[in-house]
Amino acid sequence: MEFLPRRRILRLAAALTVLLPAAFAAAGVVLRWQPQLQVVAPGDTAVLSLMLDDTLDVRTIDVVIDYDPAVLAGLTAVPGALFDTVSCYIWPAYEEDTPGHWHAFAAIIGASCRTTGPGELLRWTARAAADGWTDVTTAEVTLFDPDADRYADVSLPHAVVGVSATTGRNDLPPAPRLELAPNPFNPRTRVGWSVPPGMPFRLELLDAQGRRLAVLASGEGDGIRHQVDWNGRDEAGRPAPSGLYLFRLESPRTPPVVRRGILLR
């Protein structure tokens, strides 16, 4: 294992005020569901809010979502609280042409009007139909700015909804674990993970823009801690540049786990 000299660590700490904001800004707009994981009783309603965490001017949100119609039945989607104070006309729409596949948007009509995050963009309500789990996955998501131009690199990670007659903490699936050390690193870091038995998983390496560089591991969890080294090279064997990298552990029925690492050459 290779450790950084103390002088280089101090230089890194001084540089992070420049490096990290630039890296995170380049990663695009990441929306999220709130809550990312919930359990409701059969016949009750599940409410998910689509949240924007950035200070961003928005004119329109447009999203297409897939889920398991055997577990949930879609009821409606309405503009979120960010649109409550908009004085111009808001055009909302919600349609579900096939069970388990819905499309919703909220558009501000008026060239001088906008809403500004952070806050809630959409609110989706669904009825719990039967016991089980479902991912709420993104088929398409688009944000438009006040000039009706698309924001680039908008993403919306999945949420998970469970339906159980006994809703409580024990109904939540065990969460995967992900560790990274050393961090910062040069050029090698060790990634440790564990996934509950029987749960499929994929461990990915992404750059600061969220582009997948490599799949470090995949398979089915066994509850045991595993580890893999990343040597600071891409799949072609070329040295990766210094900067921010994302290690993401994805598994059905749980939100993704992400750790941020700094490669310093």
Predicted confidence (pLDDT) per residue in 158-197, tens digit: 888 888 877 554 455 667 889 999 999 999 999 999 988 8
What is the per-residue pLDDT for 234? 79
Identify the residue with better confidence: 24 or 57: 57
Q: Please, which pLDDT band fits residue 6 given cuts at 50, 70 and 90?
A: very low
Question: Are 6-27+173-263 and 31-170 the same fold in CATH?
Answer: yes
What is the pLDDT, as a whole number, of residue 144?
94
What pLDDT, on the 0 to 100 scale, is given for residue 61? 96
Question: Of the candidates 139, 161, 143, 141, which has an alpha carbon nearest to the alpha carbon of residue 151?
Answer: 143
pLDDT of residue 9 exceeding 70: no
Protein fold of 31-170:
Immunoglobulin-like (2.60.40)
Domain segments of the chain as ranges: 6-27+173-263, 31-170
Q: Are β-strands 226-230 and 189-194 bridged in parallel, bridged antiparallel, or unpaired?
A: antiparallel
Contact (Cβ atoms closer than 8 angstroms) between residue 52 and residue 119 = yes
- Contacts for 159 with CB less than 8 Å, ≥ 6 apart: 33, 35, 36, 37, 48, 135, 136, 255
Average pLDDT, stretch 16-39? 61
Return the pLDDT at 4: 41
Element holding 14 (H helix, E strand): helix 6-26
Higher pLDDT, 130 or 11: 130
pLDDT value at residue 167: 53
Q: How confident is the model at residue 253 (pLDDT cuts 50, 70, 90)?
A: low
Contacts 24+ apart (CB under 8 A), 165-174: 165/41, 165/42, 165/131, 167/39, 167/40, 167/41, 168/39, 171/39, 172/37, 172/39, 173/133, 173/199, 173/253, 173/254
pLDDT above 90 covers a percentage of the chain that reads 44
**Superfamily grouping for domain 6-27+173-263:** Macroglobulin (MG2) domain (2.60.40.1930)
Peptide bond into 239 cis (omega under 30): no
State residue 8's pLDDT score: 44
- Token match 């039967």: residue? 130
